[in-house]
C-alpha cells in the first residue's frame, strides 16, 4: 500500500505547526483515498465594498506580461505571479449599489430567478463535504436596499443568509458532533451528568414542577439518544485540540479570524465553496482601528466629498482591503497540498461591484483572479479591447468548473483570455513622450500615474520612454483645481515650474494640464 | 388514555417517573401528541385553578337565575349548534367551568352594557333581567378568594436567559459583527441562536408556561453555554475568571480553586444558597474525573448552566404540599428582579434575601425604589410596555434604521420616564412631556425649538440620534402615548387606531373579524364621499356593526392625524416623500373628528377623547393598566382569584392618583406576588 505523498506533507506540517492552531488529520478509509487523489477543486470569492478610487487602482499602461502593479495593488505584490488581473470588466455606465452587488456573482441585476454562479459551482464541486458552501460577511443587513447585503443567491434567486462571526463558523464546522467524535464523547458525558443532576433535583412532589422536570429529562434523553444514533461519518476528521478563534477586538481581528476559518474549512475539505463580503456594498462602517472617523461610504464619494484628508482616509481603507486579499493568498499558499499548495487548487475571485466609487460607473471594476491551477493562467494583466459583460466572466468560470451550461444571465459567450492569450487586447492611440525644460519652465508629455506610496496622494509621476519619470508635486490649492488624478493612466501634456534633480525633473507648481485624447474633467458623464 | 398517563407523573416515588420515561422513549412522538392534546383541550390540571368551592351559593344562583336567561337570549347563537365567536354557553354550564370562564362573562357584560348583544333584530332582555346578570357577576368576583395561583416552574424567556447568563458570567455573549449605521444587526448571540418566544396566554413572552423545551432549544442552550464558558476561560477574560478563583499561577488551577469556583458559581447561577449534599456529590464527581483541574471544572460548570435550576425559575423553591404559603426570600428576590429588570437578582438584593430581611415591607419598598433607579429597569419599557402596546410594530414603518429607531424610541423613552420617575399612571394617556430627536422634531412645531441643535459630525452621512426631553406647549395634542407619530403610523386609519385603543388602553377584547370581510367600498357613481361616510355605509351591515360600532367612532377621533402621523388641523411640515405625493402641509379643514366611546359618551377630536379617558373612563383605564402590569409581573394570565386584587389596587390608584411606581409596589406586596400554593 502506497501512502499518498501529500498526506505525509500535511502531517509533517502539522507537527511543525506546534503551538499554532493544531491542525486536523485525515483518517482515510479506502474510498476516501480516491477523492483525495483527485484533489478537490474549490471556489472562493472575496467582495470589496464601495468600489475603488480608479486613479490608485487602475494599472497604468502596460501589456499582458509586462506591466507595473498600481499603487493599490502593491499590498499583494508578492503574489504577482499567482494572480490574473482583469481589466475592462463591466459594461454599465452607472449603477446603484444594490444592482452592482447583485451583478457581482449573478452576471446581471435582472437575473433574479436563478442561483448566483458560486452556488452553481458549489453544486458541481461539493462532493461529499459536510457543508455545501459558506456565505460570510462582516456586518449587518442594510434594509433600505437589501440587495447591498448579499452576493450569494439560491436557485430561486432568494438571498442566502450570511454569517459574520468566526467563532460561530468554527462551531458550525468543527464542533459538529457529526464530524467530531471527541466532541461527541464530551457531549455524552455532559448529558449523563445533566440527567443525573436533574434527577437529584426532584423534590418528590407532585404537580407542575414534576411535570416540567419530566419534560426536561425527556428532551435531554432524546438528545442523548440522537447522539448515540449518529452514524460514523465516512470521511471523519480528527480534531484533537483545535482552538476556537479568539474574541474579535475589531474588524481587522474579525476578518483575520474569518480568513483562518475559511482556509481551515477549505483545507480540511469541510467545504469547497466560500463567499465572503468584506462589507455591504455601500458600507457605512467606521474604520476606527485605522484612525478614521468618517463613514466609509461618505469617503468613497471622493469627488463629492473632496478633501485631502478624506482621500487619504479612503486610500487607507482601500489598502486595508487589499491587505486582506494578500493575507488570504498568503494563507492559502502556506498550506501544502500534494505537489502544490492549497491556493493551486482554489480559484479565488476578488473584486467589487462597481468601478468608480464616486460616480458609480460599472466599467473597469476591480477584478483579480488567483490560484486555480489548470483553470486560469496567472502572472498576467489582461485588458480587453471593449468593456466586458460580467456574465461572460461568470460563464467562463462556470464552464471551467465543469458546470454544464451555455449561457448565464444575459451572456452567451464565455470570456476568453483566462487560460490563454486568445482575446482582443485593448489598444490605445500611440503618442510620443518627452520632457522639455526652459529655465524653470518644464513641459512634459507622457502617461501620468499616482505615486506608489499612497500616503503621499499629492505626488504624481509622468512616465517617459527611456528616461526617469517626471515627478509632479501638487500644492494644496492646485490639487483640486487641476485634478491630476482624473487623468491617471492616460496620456497628458503637463506644464509647470520646477527643476532638475540628478537625472529627474521635478515639477513643484502645475500651471496647465491637458489630456492628449480625452475630455477635460467634469465634461464627461462617468 | 394519554391523559391518564400524564397524571401518573404525580406519583411521589422518586425513581418512578424516570423508569416510566425510559419505557416511553420509543413513543416520543406519541408523547408530543399527548402534550399537544393537553395544551389544546385543557387538562383540568392545566386549567385555571380558581380556588372556588363549588358549593358556594354563587353557583346555585347561576343555575337558578342566569342559566335560564342564557337559554332564552343567547344559546341559539352561542350554543352547541352554532357557537359564534367560539362561545358556547351550554358547554360552560355543562362542564362546570362557570368560574373559569369569568372572562367570557366579563366580555359578555360589556356587550350587554353597550347594547351590541343580543343583536337588534333579536329579542332583548329587560333592564331587570340585565340587572340579574350584573349582580350575579359581581357576586362571582367577590366570592373569589384573592391569592396566588398554583405553583408552576417556568423556563426563562430568551431575554431573561440573555440577561441572566450575562449576570452570571459577567459579560454579554456577543456576535462578531460590525455595527454600521443604517444596518440591522443582532449583537446578542443568545437572541440570535435561541428560537423566538411566542407570547404566552397572558400576551407576554415571559409567560413561557406553554412554551415547552424543545430539542432545538436544548441544542442551542448547549452551544451558548459552551460559548460562554469558552470565553470565560479565554485569555481575554482572565481578570473575570480570577474574580472567581483568585490569582491563577502559571502551574494552572489548583483543586481548591476549582472547588471554590464551583461552589460560588452554583450559588450565583441558581440564585440561591448551595445545597451542601448536592454540592458534595458534584465535588466527589469532579475529583473522581480525569484531566486538568480547569477542564474538570469546566465540565461541571457546564452541567450547572444546563441544569433546570438555571434554565427555569422556581425549580428549587421550597414548597409545602397542599398548602398556600409565602414564598421564601430567594424566590421573592427573583420575582422582584425578573419583574423590574427581566434579570436575576444582583448582589445587594441577594444579600437582603440571605439576611432574611427582604420580606419586610419597608425593605422590599427600598429595594424596589433602588431597582427602579438602576438602568436595568429600562427593561420595563423595552420588554413589558413594548409587548403590551405592540410597539415593535413600529419597526415595520421604515427600512431606514435611524428613522425607525427615532419613531420607536419616542414611546419607549417616554414610558421609561413614567415608570422610573414616579409619574402618575394617567400621564400615559396625556402628558406635557415628550421625547424627540431631529428625525421627529418636525412633529412638534415650535416646541422643538427647546431642543439643543444637532450638528452632524463631518463624514457622517446618517446616524442614530438620541432623544431629548421637551415640554409640550404649542403641540399639546401630542401628549401621551396615543398620539406619538410612530404609534399613529403603525396603526393606519381609524379602524386600526380604534381597535388599538379599545384593546390596549380600555382592555376590551374583540373577536377575530369574520373571514369574508371585504374592503371599505369605493365611491358610488357620481358621489364624492369621505372615507368616513363610505365606512359608515359599510357598517350598516349587522355582522360588521357588532364590533365596528365600538371601534370606528373611537378611531375617528384620530382623523386629525394623517397616515404619516402629521397633525393636519394645523400647518405641518411634510417629509420629502410626502411632498412628492402632493402633501402640502397646509391645514386641512372640514375633517369630522367627532365620535363616541362604547359607553355612549360623545367627544369631538383627540383632545376631548383623552379628557374622557382620564376622567369618566379613568377607572376602566386604570383597571386595565393594573391587569397588564400584574399579568407581566406574575408571568401569567390573570384568573378569577386575581380579580378582587385587581379591583382593590385599581380603586386605590384611582383615589390616590397613584404613580407607576406605586402600582409596582402594590403588585409586589400583593398575595399573588408574595405567596404560592401547591397541589
Mean pLDDT over A390-395 rounds to 97
pLDDT-derived band at A7 (thresholds 50, 70, 90) equals very low
Q: Residue A42's pLDDT band (boundaries 50, 70, 90)?
A: very high
- Residue B288 touches partner A, C-beta closer than 8 Å: no
- Are A372 and A346 in contact by the 8 Å Cβ rule? The answer is yes
Per residue in B94-114, pLDDT (tens digit) is: 767 777 777 888 888 877 877
User: pLDDT tens-digit profile of B640-661?
Assistant: 899 999 999 999 999 999 999 9
pLDDT of amino acid A13: 33
CB atoms < 10 A from the CB of A451, how many? Answer: 17
If you ran DSSP here, which 8-state letter would residue B459 be given? T
Give the pLDDT confidence of B519-538 residue by residue, as tens digits: 777 777 777 777 777 777 76
- Tell me: pLDDT of A405 over 60: yes
Any long-range contacts for A478-487 (C-beta under 8 Å, 24+ apart)? A478/A509, A478/A510, A479/A308, A480/A306, A482/A510, A482/A513, A483/A521, A484/A448, A484/A460, A484/A510, A484/A513, A485/A53, A485/A55, A485/A450, A485/A460, A486/A55, A486/A521, A487/A448, A487/A513, A487/A515, A487/A518, A487/A521
Estimate to the nearest angstrom the gap between the alpha carbon of B524 and the chain centroid.
Answer: 44
Strand ranges, E, within A129-194 = 134-136
| Model confidence at A513: pLDDT above 80 | yes
In this predicted structure, the answer to whether residue A344 has a pLDDT above a threshold of 80 is yes
Name the percent of chain B lying above pLDDT 70: 90
Mean residue pLDDT of chain A comes to 86
A80 to chain B, closest Cα gap in Å:
31
Q: Is the pLDDT of residue A525 over 80?
A: no
- Tell me the percentage of chain A whose pLDDT exceeds 90: 63
In sequence order, the β-bridge partners of residue A237 are A26
* Residue B60: per-residue pLDDT: 84
Q: How far apart are CA B155 and CA B282, in angstroms?
A: 24
The predicted structure's pLDDT at residue B510: 82
pLDDT at A38: 64
Which pLDDT band holds residue A198 (cuts at 50, 70, 90)? confident
Q: How confident is the model at residue B36 (pLDDT cuts 50, 70, 90)?
A: very low
Mean pLDDT of A447-462: 89
Whether residues A206 and B178 touch (CB distance < 8 A) is answered with no
Is the pLDDT higher at A24 or at A299? A299
Secondary structure of B20-40 in the HEC alphabet?
HHHHHHHHHHHHHHHHHHHHH
Look at residue B51 and tell me whether its pLDDT is greater than 70.
Answer: no
Please determine, for residue B282, whether its predicted confidence score (pLDDT) is greater than 80: yes
Q: What is the pLDDT of residues B53-80, one digit of tens each?
A: 777 888 888 888 888 888 888 888 888 7
Is residue A209 over pLDDT 80?
A: no
B51, B99 Cβ separation under 8 angstroms? no
The three-point CA angle B251-B252-B256 to 5° equals 115
At B207, the pLDDT band (50, 70, 90 cuts) reads: very high
CB-CB neighbors (< 8 A) of B223 in chain A: 171, 175
For the residues of A214-252, what is the DSSP string, one character each? HHHHHHHHHHHHHHHTPPPPSS-EE-SSPPPPPPP-SHH
Q: Is A100 on the interface with B (CB under 8 A)?
A: no
Q: If you write DSSP's letter for every residue of B124-178 in order, what string do you get? A: ---HHHHHHHHHHHHHHHHHS---PPBP--EEPPHHHHHHHHHHHHSS--B---B
Instruction: Please tell me which residue of chain B has the smallest CA distance to A183.
Output: B226
Distances (CA, A) of B380 to B197, B349, B629, B636, B664: 18, 18, 10, 16, 11
Q: What is the pLDDT of residue B22?
A: 33
For residue A202, the model assigns a pLDDT of 63
Based on the number of CB atoms within 10 Å of its own CB, is B582 exposed (0-12), middle (13-18) or buried (19 or more)?
A: exposed
| Chain B interface mutation, best of A49, A163, A206, A258, highest count of B Cβ atoms under 10 Å | A206
Query: Coil, strand, or helix at residue B470?
Result: strand
Burial (0-12, 13-18, 19+ Cβ within 10 Å), B22: exposed
The answer, for A197 touching chain B at a CB cutoff of 8 Å, is: yes
Give the integer Cα–Cα distance in Å for B637 and B209.
10
Q: Which of A217-231, B190-204, B497-511 has the lowest mean pLDDT?
A: A217-231
B447 phi/psi in degrees, rounded to 5: -60, -25
- Say whether residue B236 is in contact with chain A using an 8 A CB cutoff: yes
Cβ atoms of B337 and B343 closer than 8 Å: yes
A206–B10 C-beta distance less than 8 A: yes
Q: Is the CB of residue A210 less than 8 Å away from at least one CB of chain B?
A: yes
A485: pLDDT confidence band, cut at 50, 70 and 90?
Answer: confident
Q: Nearest CA to CA, how far is B470 from chain A (Å)?
A: 30
DSSP 8-state assignment for residue B66: I
Inform me whether the pLDDT recorded for A244 exceeds 60: yes
How far apart CA B490 and CA B483 sit, in angstroms, is 11
State the pLDDT at residue A29. 36
More confident site: B288 or A37: B288
Residue B23's pLDDT is 34
Average pLDDT over residues A438-447: 94
pLDDT higher than threshold 80 for residue B317: yes
- The whole-number pLDDT of residue B583 equals 84
| Closest-CA residue of chain B to A189 | B299
Q: What is the percent of chain B with per-residue pLDDT over 90, rounded to a whole number?
A: 56
pLDDT value at residue A277 = 97
**Strand locations in A180-335, DSSP E?**
237-238, 273-277
Q: Give the number of beta-carbon pairs within 8 Å between A and B.
A: 205
Residue scoring higher pLDDT (B115 or A161) = A161
| Model pLDDT, residue B597 | 86
pLDDT reading at A35 higher than 80: no
Please give the model's pTM, rounded to 2 decimal places: 0.83
Show residues of chain B in contact with A251, CB under 8 Å.
178
Confidence grade of residue A448 (pLDDT, cut at 50, 70, 90): very high
- pLDDT, tens digit, 9 for 90 and up, residues A77-102: 999 999 999 999 999 888 899 999 99
Q: What would the pLDDT profile of B557-607 be if each residue is shown by its tens digit?
A: 999 998 889 998 888 888 888 888 888 888 877 788 998 888 888 999 999
pLDDT-derived band of residue B673, with 50, 70 and 90 as boundaries? very high
pLDDT at B160: 98
Q: State the pLDDT at residue B211.
A: 87
Among the ranges given (A456-460, B32-36, B175-179, B616-620), the one the predictor scored with the smallest mean pLDDT: B32-36
Chain A: closest CA distance from residue B152 (Å) = 5
Is 90 exceeded by the pLDDT of residue B480?
Answer: yes
pLDDT tens, position by position, A181-194:
777 888 888 899 99
Cell of B135: 349582580
Is the bond into B665 cis (omega within 30 degrees of 0)?
no
Q: Residue A337 — pLDDT band, cuts 50, 70, 90? A: confident
End-to-end CA distance of chain A: 64
Over residues B138-164, mean pLDDT: 91
Mean pLDDT of chain B: 86
- Asked if B234 lies within 8 A of A305 by C-beta distance, the reply is no
User: What is the rounded distance in angstroms from the CA atom of residue A1 to the CA atom of residue A316?
Assistant: 54
| Residues 103-142, chain A, touching B (beta carbon < 8 A) | 138-142
A185 contacts in chain B (CB < 8 Å) = none
Of B4-13, B34-43, B534-543, the least confident: B4-13
**Residue B19: is its pLDDT beyond 70?**
no
β strands within B484-563, DSSP E: none
Instruction: Give the pLDDT confidence of A108-144 residue by residue, as tens digits.
Output: 999 999 999 999 999 999 998 889 999 999 999 998 8
pLDDT digits (tens, 9 = 90+) for B208-249: 988 889 988 999 999 999 999 999 999 889 999 999 999 999
> With an 8 Å Cβ cutoff, are A207 and B151 in contact?
yes
Q: How confident is the model at residue B359 (pLDDT cuts 50, 70, 90)?
A: very high
Does the pLDDT at position B18 exceed 50? no
For residue B409, how many C-alpha atoms fall within 13 Å in the half-sphere facing its CB?
18
Is residue A197 within 8 Å of residue B275, measured between CB atoms? no
> Chain A 387-406, CB below 8 Å of chain B: which residues?
none
**Residue A408 backbone dihedrals phi, psi, to 5 degrees:** -140, 135
What would the mean pLDDT of B488-500 be, rounded to a whole number? 92
Angle among Cα B314, B316, B322 to the nearest 5 degrees reads 80
CB A412 within 8 A of CB A398: no
Exposure letters A376-408 (e unless 16+ CB within 10 A, then b) = bbbebbbbbeebbbbbbbbbbbbebbebeeeeb
Buried b (16+ CB within 10 A) or exposed e, B596-615: bbbeeeebebbbbbbebbbe
What is the biggest distance separating any 2 CA atoms in chain A, rounded to whole angstroms?
106
What chain B residue is nearest to A227 in terms of C-alpha separation? Answer: B219
Which pLDDT score, from 0 to 100, does residue A423 have? Answer: 96
Lowest mean pLDDT among A49-53, A173-177, A492-496, B662-666: A173-177
Of A288, A276, A284, nearest to A301 by C-alpha is: A284
More confident position, A229 or B285:
B285
User: Which of B10, B222, B459 shows the shortest C-beta gap to A207?
Assistant: B10
Amino acid at each position: 500500500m502506497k501512502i499518498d505523498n501529500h498526506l505525509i506533507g500535511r502531517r509533517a506540517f502539522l507537527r511543525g505547526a506546534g503551538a499554532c492552531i493544531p491542525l486536523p488529520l485525515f483518517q482515510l478509509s479506502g474510498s476516501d483515498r480516491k477523492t483525495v487523489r483527485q484533489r478537490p477543486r474549490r471556489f472562493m470569492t472575496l467582495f470589496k465594498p464601495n468600489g475603488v478610487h480608479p486613479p490608485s487602482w487602475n494599472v497604468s499602461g502596460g501589456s499582458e506580461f509586462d506591466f507595473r502593479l498600481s499603487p493599490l495593488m502593491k499590498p499583494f505584490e508578492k503574489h504577482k505571479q499567482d494572480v490574473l488581473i482583469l481589466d475592462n470588466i463591466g459594461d454599465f455606465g452607472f449603477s446603484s449599489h444594490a444592482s452592482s452587488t447583485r451583478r457581482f456573482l449573478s452576471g446581471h441585476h435582472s437575473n433574479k430567478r436563478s442561483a448566483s454562479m458560486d452556488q452553481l459551482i458549489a453544486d458541481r464541486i461539493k462532493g461529499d463535504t459536510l457543508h455545501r458552501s459558506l456565505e460570510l460577511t462582516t456586518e449587518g443587513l442594510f434594509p433600505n436596499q437589501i440587495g447591498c447585503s448579499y452576493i450569494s443567491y439560491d436557485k430561486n434567486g432568494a438571498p442566502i443568509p450570511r454569517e459574520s462571526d468566526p467563532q460561530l463558523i468554527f462551531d458550525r464546522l468543527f464542533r459538529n458532533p457529526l464530524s467530531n467524535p471527541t466532541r461527541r464523547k464530551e457531549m455524552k458525558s455532559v448529558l449523563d451528568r445533566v440527567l443525573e443532576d436533574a434527577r437529584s433535583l426532584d423534590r418528590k412532589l407532585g404537580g407542575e414542577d414534576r411535570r416540567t422536570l419530566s419534560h426536561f429529562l425527556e428532551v435531554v434523553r432524546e438528545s442523548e439518544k440522537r447522539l448515540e444514533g449518529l452514524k460514523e461519518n465516512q470521511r471523519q476528521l480528527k480534531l484533537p485540540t483545535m482552538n476556537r478563534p479568539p474574541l474579535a477586538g475589531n474588524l481587522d481581528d474579525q476578518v483575520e479570524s474569518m480568513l483562518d476559518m475559511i482556509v481551515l474549512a477549505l483545507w480540511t475539505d469541510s467545504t469547497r465553496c466560500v463567499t465572503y463580503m468584506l462589507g455591504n456594498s455601500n458600507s457605512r462602517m467606521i474604520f476606527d482601528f485605522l484612525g478614521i472617523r468618517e463613514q466609509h461610504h461618505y469617503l468613497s464619494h471622493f469627488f463629492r466629498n473632496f478633501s485631502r484628508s478624506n482621500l487619504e482616509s479612503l486610500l487607507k481603507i482601500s489598502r486595508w482591503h487589499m491587505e486582506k486579499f494578500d493575507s488570504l493568498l498568503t494563507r492559502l499558499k502556506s498550506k501544502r497540498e500534494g505537489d502544490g499548495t492549497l491556493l493551486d487548487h482554489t480559484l479565488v475571485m476578488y473584486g467589487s461591484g462597481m468601478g468608480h466609487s464616486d460616480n458609480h460607473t460599472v466599467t473597469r471594476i476591480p477584478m483579480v483572479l488567483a490560484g486555480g491551477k489548470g483553470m486560469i493562467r496567472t502572472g498576467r494583466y489582461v485588458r480587453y479591447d471593449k468593456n466586458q459583460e460580467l456574465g461572460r466572466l461568470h460563464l467562463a468560470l462556470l464552464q471551467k468548473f465543469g458546470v454544464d451550461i451555455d449561457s448565464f444571465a444575459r451572456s452567451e459567450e464565455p470570456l476568453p483570455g483566462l487560460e490563454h492569450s486568445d482575446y482582443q487586447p485593448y489598444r490605445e492611440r500611440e503618442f510620443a513622450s518627452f520632457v522639455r525644460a526652459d529655465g524653470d519652465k518644464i513641459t512634459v508629455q507622457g502617461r501620468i500615474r499616482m505615486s506608489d506610496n499612497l500616503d503621499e496622494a499629492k505626488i504624481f509621476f509622468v512616465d517617459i520612454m527611456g528616461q526617469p519619470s517626471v515627478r509632479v508635486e501638487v500644492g494644496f490649492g492646485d490639487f483640486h483645481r487641476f485634478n491630476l488624478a482624473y487623468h491617471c493612466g492616460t496620456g497628458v501634456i503637463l506644464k509647470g515650474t520646477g527643476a532638475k534633480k540628478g537625472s529627474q525633473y521635478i515639477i513643484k507648481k502645475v500651471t496647465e494640464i491637458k489630456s492628449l485624447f480625452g475630455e477635460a474633467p467634469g465634461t464627461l458623464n462617468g | 388514555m394519554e391523559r391518564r398517563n400524564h397524571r401518573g407523573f404525580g406519583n411521589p416515588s422518586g425513581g418512578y417517573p424516570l423508569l416510566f420515561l425510559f419505557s416511553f422513549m420509543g413513543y416520543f412522538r406519541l408523547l408530543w401528541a399527548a402534550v399537544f392534546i393537553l395544551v389544546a383541550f385543557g387538562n383540568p390540571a392545566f386549567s385555571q385553578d380558581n380556588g372556588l368551592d363549588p358549593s358556594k351559593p354563587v353557583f346555585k344562583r347561576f343555575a337558578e337565575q342566569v342559566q335560564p336567561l342564557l337559554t332564552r337570549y343567547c344559546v341559539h347563537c352561542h350554543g352547541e349548534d352554532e357557537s359564534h365567536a367560539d362561545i358556547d354557553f351550554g358547554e360552560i354550564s355543562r362542564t362546570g367551568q362557570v368560574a373559569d370562564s369569568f372572562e367570557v362573562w366579563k366580555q359578555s357584560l360589556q356587550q350587554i352594557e353597550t347594547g351590541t348583544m343580543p343583536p337588534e333584530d333579536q329579542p332583548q332582555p329587560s333592564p331587570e333581567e340585565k340587572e340579574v346578570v350584573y349582580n350575579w357577576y359581581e357576586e362571582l368576583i367577590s366570592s373569589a378568594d384573592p391569592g396566588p395561583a398554583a405553583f408552576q416552574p417556568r423556563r426563562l424567556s430568551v431575554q431573561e436567559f440573555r440577561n441572566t447568563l450575562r449576570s452570571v458570567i459577567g459579560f454579554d455573549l456577543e456576535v462578531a459583527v460590525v455595527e454600521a449605521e443604517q444596518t440591522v444587526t443582532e449583537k446578542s448571540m443568545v437572541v440570535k441562536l435561541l428560537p423566538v418566544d411566542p407570547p404566552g396566554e397572558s400576551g407576554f413572552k415571559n409567560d413561557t408556561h406553554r412554551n415547552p423545551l424543545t430539542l432545538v432549544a436544548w441544542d442551542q442552550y448547549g452551544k451558548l453555554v459552551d460559548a460562554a464558558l469558552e470565553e470565560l476561560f479565554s485569555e481575554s477574560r482572565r481578570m473575570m475568571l480570577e474574580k472567581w478563583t483568585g490569582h491563577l499561577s502559571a502551574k494552572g488551577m489548583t483543586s481548591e480553586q476549582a472547588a471554590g469556583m464551583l461552589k460560588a458559581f452554583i450559588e450565583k447561577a441558581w440564585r440561591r444558597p448551595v445545597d451542601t449534599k448536592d454540592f458534595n456529590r458534584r465535588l466527589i464527581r469532579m475529583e473522581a474525573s480525569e484531566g486538568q483541574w480547569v477542564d474538570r471544572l469546566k465540565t461541571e460548570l457546564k452541567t450547572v448552566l444546563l441544569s433546570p435550576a438555571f434554565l427555569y425559575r422556581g425549580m428549587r423553591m421550597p414548597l409545602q404540599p397542599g398548602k398556600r404559603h409565602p414564598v421564601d426570600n430567594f424566590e421573592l428576590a427573583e420575582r422582584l428582579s425578573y419583574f423590574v429588570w427581566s434579570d436575576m437578582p444582583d448582589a445587594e438584593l441577594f444579600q437582603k434575601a440571605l439576611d432574611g430581611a427582604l420580606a419586610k415591607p419597608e425593605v422590599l419598598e427600598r429595594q424596589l425604589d433602588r431597582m427602579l433607579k438602576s438602568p436595568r429597569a429600562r427593561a420595563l419599557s423595552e420588554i413589558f410596555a413594548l409587548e403590551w402596546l405592540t410597539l415593535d410594530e413600529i419597526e415595520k414603518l421604515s427600512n431606514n434604521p435611524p428613522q425607525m429607531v427615532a419613531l420607536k424610541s419616542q414611546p419607549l423613552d417616554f414610558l421609561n420616564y413614567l415608570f422610573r420617575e414616579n409619574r402618575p399612571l394617567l400621564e400615559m394617556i396625556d402628558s406635557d412631556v415628550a421625547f424627540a430627536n431631529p428625525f421627529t422634531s418636525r412633529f412638534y412645531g415650535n416646541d422643538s425649538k427647546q431642543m439643543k441643535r444637532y450638528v452632524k459630525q463631518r463624514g457622517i452621512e446618517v446616524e442614530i440620534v438620541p432623544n431629548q426631553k421637551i415640554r409640550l406647549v404649542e403641540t399639546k395634542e401630542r401628549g401621551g402615548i396615543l398620539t406619538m407619530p410612530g404609534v399613529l403610523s403603525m396603526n393606519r386609519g381609524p379602524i386600526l387606531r380604534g381597535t388599538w385603543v379599545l384593546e390596549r388602553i380600555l382592555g376590551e377584547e374583540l373577536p377575530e373579524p369574520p373571514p369574508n370581510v371585504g374592503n371599505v367600498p369605493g365611491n358610488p357613481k357620481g358621489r364624492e364621499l369621505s372615507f368616513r361616510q363610505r365606512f359608515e355605509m359599510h357598517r350598516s351591515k349587522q355582522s360588521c356593526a357588532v364590533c365596528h360600532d365600538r371601534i370606528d367612532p373611537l378611531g375617528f377621533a384620530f382623523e386629525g392625524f394623517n397616515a404619516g402621523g402629521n397633525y393636519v388641523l394645523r400647518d405641518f411640515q411634510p417629509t420629502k416623500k410626502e411632498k412628492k405625493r402632493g402633501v402640502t402641509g397646509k391645514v386641512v379643514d372640514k375633517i369630522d373628528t367627532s365620535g363616541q366611546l362604547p359607553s355612549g359618551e360623545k367627544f369631538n377630536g383627540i383632545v376631548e377623547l383623552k379628557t374622557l379617558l382620564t376622567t369618566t373612563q379613568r377607572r376602566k383605564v386604570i383597571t386595565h393598566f393594573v391587569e397588564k402590569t400584574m399579568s407581566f409581573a406574575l408571568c401569567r394570565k390573570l384568573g378569577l382569584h386575581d380579580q378582587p386584587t385587581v379591583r382593590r389596587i385599581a380603586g386605590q390608584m384611582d383615589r390616590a392618583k397613584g404613580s407607576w411606581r406605586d402600582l409596582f409596589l402594590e403588585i409586589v406586596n400583593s398575595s399573588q406576588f408574595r405567596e404560592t400554593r401547591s397541589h
